[in-house]
């Protein structure tokens, strides 16, 4: 990867608030056209990293380059290339959809003609064209998020920073929102997105797992899953709760999780452990059941790789 | 209430706000000790239903019994038998753990002779021993959330309503939370969880899907996942993704093709391309394929399929 292909380059980013070390030596490089996900629970440091990338918060130490511009030294110049959508994007609820777009266009010094054509394009992509005259305050949560995105894109930024954009948004609207992001990526926009939702993280092309201010792992979702020690099995039975108690602590069992209609069991070696579990459960009179390999989610990976220290 | 009577029973439950029907003849029966997930788009009627089941909002038509009490005529009794907890639950940050518990004990009218024992139970359940005198705002998310649960169960409610209880919580803490919920269910507590997050729904014994005020599906997570997507779902690792999606969207037999992270999700129906044809077909379009594999649909896939119409049609009133 040459420097030219890197859209965001952060090196040893560090930030403390009083005695709290919010971010500790976070380093990562995001290639042009990637959808890079910053994944971690509330309080892990996601927003702090995001705000430093956006140039609105100065790091205590470390370097950030966005689209080749040093964000710390040249914040103003960097701002033209970046769009930052914070968790609570400031839409004007008593302005209409079209008026909000116009307002943000003016803020970013987008020409009047460009505002109209670009605004129309973006509204169409977001499925909001029929709602141009509606007051922003009267949109549903998912539509407000899409309008926020349209406003954030009005000046055609090369890098888009999205801080937990889909919190509180229902699955159907979330899917629409992601369709827009994939479309932007096709047009060469680099997207840096944070989320506390592990299932959503699967949609990113690469992920950084953030815990207590430090990046613990960084790779594609598929490779992170491969890096998870052991393999995941799902055991379906009429009384999964009793299975959990039998299985916990057995040799080769790395973790047991009771789900709604099954038990998820992480084992060191599935070929060896499946027959062992079967005979163990049959011996305990567990009744009819089915054991099959299960696809791990990013949460399984997070728990396995970041481990017990995640407990709070 | 007899032992096998449903803990929550709604019959043709309906709520109208002027001309808008928020909840439309909803039938729901939840057994004692069951954990049921309640999912649906924004504005589908979830909160309205829960407010009626909590005895906070009077139904326009139909009826509901919660813990054996009628939500219209015995609303006060209903409220005494339920606990409510939300991730955004307003614990008092400037009060200590113990003070919060005592405060909620007062609100729920826990008897004076019982409160110490109930607080002790809540503290040990939440793993907060040794932190009783910490200010709540200094606690990490996982502890706060378990304390909120502790406050909601101080009065031993047989029915518990949870609203996105674990969103944003550390994964390990979230798992611990759900273990607790399963323990309560084993002791006969009935739990209704309202959430937008499919990974929370996976912890429920059954999931009820609501859209436009109507119940459109109910079943175990596996039963819902077995729902046909109109074909079989395949994950295709290929590059470039955008071109692959375009090529596939007009191809015969392709029901749906969508980018999913660094891969493509393709639903193949009958009478067109099958999985073995994909590498050749995409190859002709100059696309390199490195993997095609069958994957089970996620609950989200099913949800999106079942919820009809575009979200724009589901405007809030």
Q: Three-class SS of residue B147? A: helix
Q: How confident is the model at residue B312 (pLDDT cuts 50, 70, 90)?
A: very low
Residues of A in contact with B37 (CB under 8 A): 260
Q: How many CB atoms lie within 10 A of CB A168?
A: 17
pLDDT at B87: 64
Q: What value does the mean pLDDT take over residues B266-295?
A: 92
B51: CB partners within 8 A, 6+ apart:
B57
Name beta bridge partners: B209.
B39, B217
Q: What value does the mean pLDDT take over residues B194-205?
A: 90
**B277 pLDDT exceeds 50?**
yes
Q: Which two tokens stand for residue B255?
A: 């029901």
pLDDT at A143: 87
Residues of A in contact with B203 (CB under 8 A): 258-260
Q: Domain residues of chain A, as ranges? A: 3-224, 229-295
B121: CB partners within 8 A, 6+ apart:
none
**Please, which contacts does A67-76 make with residues 24 or more away whose CB atoms are closer than 8 Å?**
A67/A7, A67/A158, A67/A159, A68/A3, A68/A4
pLDDT at B303: 85
For A299, which residue in chain B has the nearest alpha carbon?
Answer: B171
Q: How confident is the model at residue B311 (pLDDT cuts 50, 70, 90)?
A: very low
Q: How many CB atoms lie within 10 A of CB B73?
A: 12
Q: Residue written as tokens 């937990």?
A: A164
Q: Three-class SS of residue A163? A: strand
Which pTM was predicted?
0.86
Least trusted range by pLDDT, from A168-182, A186-200, A210-224, B71-85:
A168-182
Q: Which two tokens stand for residue A196?
A: 């506390």
Q: How confident is the model at residue B305 (pLDDT cuts 50, 70, 90)?
A: confident
Q: What value does the mean pLDDT take over residues B120-137?
A: 92
**B313 pLDDT exceeds 70?**
no
Task: Tell me if B202 and A259 make a contact (CB, 8 A cut-off).
Answer: yes
**B234 pLDDT exceeds 90?**
yes
d(Cα B201, Cα B181) in Å, to the nearest integer?
Answer: 13
Q: What are phi and psi of B278, to 5 degrees?
A: -60, -50
Buried b (16+ CB within 10 A) or exposed e, A52-79: bbbbeeebeebebbbbebebeeeeeebb
Mean pLDDT rounded to a whole number for chain B: 89
Q: Residue written as tokens 């039975």?
A: A237
**A311 pLDDT exceeds 80?**
no
pLDDT at B309: 52
Q: What are phi and psi of B54, to 5 degrees?
A: -85, 0
Task: Tell me if A260 and B141 make a contact (CB, 8 A cut-off).
Answer: no
| Residue in A41, A139, A301 to test binding to B, most B beta-carbons within 10 Å | A41
In degrees, rounded to 5, the angle at the alpha carbon of residue A299 between the alpha carbons of residues B255 and A226 is 75
Q: How confident is the model at residue B14 (pLDDT cuts 50, 70, 90)?
A: very high
**A270 pLDDT exceeds 50?**
yes
d(Cα A168, Cα B167) in Å, to the nearest integer?
Answer: 10
Q: Which two tokens stand for residue A48?
A: 């702090």
pLDDT per position as a tens digit, A192-234: 999 988 888 999 999 999 999 999 999 999 899 999 999 999 9
d(Cα A105, Cα A83) in Å, to the nearest integer?
Answer: 12
The share of chain A scoring above pLDDT 90, in percent, equals 65
Residues of A in contact with B263 (CB under 8 A): 222
In degrees, rounded to 5, the angle at the alpha carbon of residue B35 between the alpha carbons of residues B24 and B70 is 50
**A312 pLDDT exceeds 80?**
no
Q: Report the CATH superfamily, name and number, of domain B8-225.
A: P-loop containing nucleotide triphosphate hydrolases (3.40.50.300)
Name the nearest CA neighbour of A203 among A174, A229, A236, A230.
A174
Q: Three-class SS of residue A242? A: helix
Please give the torsion angle defined by the CA atoms of residues A186, A188, A189 and A193, in that order, rounded to the nearest 10 degrees.
60
Buried b (16+ CB within 10 A) or exposed e, B183-193: ebbeeebbbbb
pLDDT at A309: 44
Please give the torsion angle defined by the CA atoms of residues B114, B120, B122 and B124, in that order, rounded to the nearest 10 degrees.
-160
End-to-end CA distance of chain B: 38
pLDDT at B93: 92
d(Cα A151, Cα A147) in Å, to the nearest integer?
Answer: 6
Q: How confident is the model at residue B189 (pLDDT cuts 50, 70, 90)?
A: very high
Asked if B213 and B44 touch (Cβ cutoff 8 Å), the reply is: yes
pLDDT per position as a tens digit, B211-232: 999 999 999 998 888 876 778 8
Q: How confident is the model at residue A17 (pLDDT cuts 50, 70, 90)?
A: very high
**B82 pLDDT exceeds 50?**
yes
Interface of B with A in 219-248 (CB under 8 A): 220-222, 237, 241-242
Q: Which two tokens stand for residue A239?
A: 């009384």
Q: Where are the alpha helices (DSSP H) in chain B?
A: 46-53, 75-80, 97-107, 112-125, 141-152, 171-186, 198-201, 221-225, 241-249, 278-284, 299-306
Name beta bridge partners: B220.
none
**B197 pLDDT exceeds 90?**
no
DSSP state, A158? Answer: S
Of A43, A196, A206, the CB nearest to B140: A43
**A187 pLDDT exceeds 90?**
no
Higher pLDDT, residue B252 or B298: B252
Q: What value does the mean pLDDT take over residues A275-303?
A: 89
pLDDT per position as a tens digit, B150-162: 999 999 999 999 9
Q: How confident is the model at residue B89 (pLDDT cuts 50, 70, 90)?
A: low
Q: Which two tokens stand for residue A145?
A: 């998020």
The share of chain B scoring above pLDDT 70, in percent, equals 95
HSE, side-chain direction, 13 A CA sphere, residue A100: 30
Q: How confident is the model at residue A170 (pLDDT cuts 50, 70, 90)?
A: confident
Beta strand pairing status for A159-163 and A82-85? parallel
Q: Domain residues of chain B, as ranges? A: 8-225, 232-296
DSSP state, A57? Answer: S
pLDDT at B194: 92
B51 touches chain A (CB under 8 A): no
Q: What value does the mean pLDDT take over residues B23-28?
A: 96
Q: What are phi and psi of A237, to 5 degrees?
A: -160, 165
pLDDT per position as a tens digit, A109-121: 899 999 999 999 8
Residues of B in contact with A171 (CB under 8 A): 39, 41, 196, 198, 300, 303-304
Asked if A103 and A172 touch (Cβ cutoff 8 Å), the reply is: no
pLDDT per position as a tens digit, A48-78: 999 999 999 999 999 999 999 999 999 888 8
The share of chain A scoring above pLDDT 70, in percent, equals 97
Q: How many CB atoms lie within 10 A of CB A254?
A: 15
CATH topology for B232-296 is Alpha-Beta Plaits (3.30.70)
Name the nearest CA neighbour of A43 among A14, A23, A19, A60.
A23
Residue B63, sorted as left (phi over 0), alpha (psi -120 to 50) or beta, turns out to be: beta
pLDDT at A84: 92
Q: Report the CATH superfamily, name and number, of domain A3-224.
A: P-loop containing nucleotide triphosphate hydrolases (3.40.50.300)
DSSP state, B189? Answer: -
Q: Which CATH class is domain A229-295?
A: alpha beta
DSSP string, B44-89: SSHHHHHHHHTTSS--SEEEEEETTEETTT-HHHHHHTEEEEETT-
HSE, side-chain direction, 13 A CA sphere, residue A254: 18
| Residue in A146, A258, A260 to test binding to B, most B beta-carbons within 10 Å | A260
In degrees, rounded to 5, the angle at the alpha carbon of residue A114 between the alpha carbons of residues A190 and A51 is 35
Rounded to a whole number of angstroms, the distance from the CA of B293 to the nearest CA of chain A is 12
Q: What value does the mean pLDDT take over residues A3-14?
A: 90
Of B202, B261, B263, the CB nearest to A260: B202
Name the nearest CA neighbour of A217 among A229, A209, A206.
A209
Q: Three-class SS of residue A36? A: strand
Asked if A153 and A115 touch (Cβ cutoff 8 Å), the reply is: no
Of A170, A196, A222, the CB nearest to B196: A170
Q: How confident is the model at residue B3 (pLDDT cuts 50, 70, 90)?
A: low
Q: Three-class SS of residue B12? A: strand
Of A41, A204, A261, the CB nearest to B171: A41
In degrees, rounded to 5, the angle at the alpha carbon of residue A296 between the alpha carbons of residues B236 and A310 is 135
Q: Which two tokens stand for residue A147?
A: 């309008």
Residues of A in contact with B211 (CB under 8 A): none
């Amino acid at each position: 990867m040459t420097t030219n292909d890197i859209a965001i380059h952060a090196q040893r980013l560090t930030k403390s608030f009083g005695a709290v070390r919010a971010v500790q030596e976070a380093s990562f490089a995001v290639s042009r056209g990637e959808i890079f996900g910053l994944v971690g629970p509330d309080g892990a440091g996601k927003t702090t990293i995001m705000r430093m990338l956006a140039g609105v918060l100065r790091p205590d130490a470390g370097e950030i380059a966005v689209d080749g511009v040093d964000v710390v030294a040249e914040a103003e110049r960097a701002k033209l290339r970046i769009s930052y959508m914070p968790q609570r994007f400031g839409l004007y609820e008593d302005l209409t959809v079209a008026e909000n777009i116009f307002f943000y266009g003016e803020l970013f010094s987008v020409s009047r003609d460009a505002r109209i054509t670009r605004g129309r394009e973006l509204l169409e992509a977001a499925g909001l064209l029929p709602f141009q005259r509606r007051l922003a305050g009267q949109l549903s949560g998912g539509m407000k998020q899409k309008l926020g995105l349209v406003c954030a894109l009005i000046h055609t930024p090369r890098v888009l920073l999205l801080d937990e954009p889909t919190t509180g948004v229902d699955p159907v609207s979330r899917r629409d929102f992601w369709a827009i992001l994939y479309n932007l990526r096709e047009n060469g926009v680099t997207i840096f997105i944070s989320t506390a939702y592990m299932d959503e993280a699967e949609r990113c092309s690469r992920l950084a797992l953030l815990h207590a201010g430090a990046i613990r792992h960084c790779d594609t979702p598929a490779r992170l899953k491969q890096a998870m020690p052991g393999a995941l099995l799902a055991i379906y039975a009429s009384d999964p709760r009793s299975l959990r108690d039998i299985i916990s602590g057995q040799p080769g069992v790395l973790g047991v999780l009771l789900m709604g209609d099954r038990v998820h069991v992480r084992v060191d070696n599935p070929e060896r452990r499946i027959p062992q579990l079967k005979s163990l459960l049959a011996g305990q009179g567990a009744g009819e059941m089915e054991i099959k390999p299960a696809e791990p989610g990013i949460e399984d990976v997070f728990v396995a790789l970041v481990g017990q220290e995640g407990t709070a | 209430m007899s032992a096998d009577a449903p803990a929550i029973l709604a019959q043709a439950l309906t709520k109208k706000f002027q001309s808008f029907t928020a909840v439309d003849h909803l039938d729901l029966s939840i057994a004692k000790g069951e954990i049921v997930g309640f999912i649906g788009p924004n504005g589908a009627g979830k909160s309205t239903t829960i407010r009626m089941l909590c005895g906070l909002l009077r139904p326009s038509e139909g009826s509901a019994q919660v813990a054996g009490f009628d939500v219209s005529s015995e609303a006060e009794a209903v409220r005494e038998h339920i606990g409510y907890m939300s991730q955004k639950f307003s614990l008092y940050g400037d009060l200590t753990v113990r003070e919060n518990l005592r405060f909620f004990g007062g609100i729920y009218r826990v008897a004076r002779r019982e409160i110490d024992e109930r607080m002790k139970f809540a503290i040990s359940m939440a793993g907060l021993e040794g932190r009783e005198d910490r200010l709540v705002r200094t606690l990490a998310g996982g502890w706060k959330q378990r304390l909120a649960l502790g406050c909601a169960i101080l009065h031993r409610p047989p029915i518990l309503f949870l609203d996105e209880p674990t969103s944003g919580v550390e994964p390990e803490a979230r798992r611990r939370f759900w273990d607790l919920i399963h323990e309560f269910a084993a002791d006969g507590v009935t739990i209704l969880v309202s959430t937008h997050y499919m990974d929370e729904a996976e912890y429920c014994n059954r999931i009820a899907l609501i859209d436009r005020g109507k119940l459109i599906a109910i079943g175990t997570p596996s039963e819902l996942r077995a729902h046909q997507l109109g074909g079989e779902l395949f994950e295709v690792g290929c590059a470039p993704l955008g071109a692959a999606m375009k090529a596939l969207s007009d191809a015969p037999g392709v029901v749906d093709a969508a980018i999913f992270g660094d891969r493509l999700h393709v639903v193949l129906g009958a009478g067109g391309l099958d999985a073995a044809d994909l590498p050749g077909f995409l190859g002709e379009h100059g696309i390199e394929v490195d993997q095609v594999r069958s994957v089970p649909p996620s609950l989200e896939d099913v949800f999106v399929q079942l919820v009809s119409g575009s979200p724009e049609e589901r405007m809030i009133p």
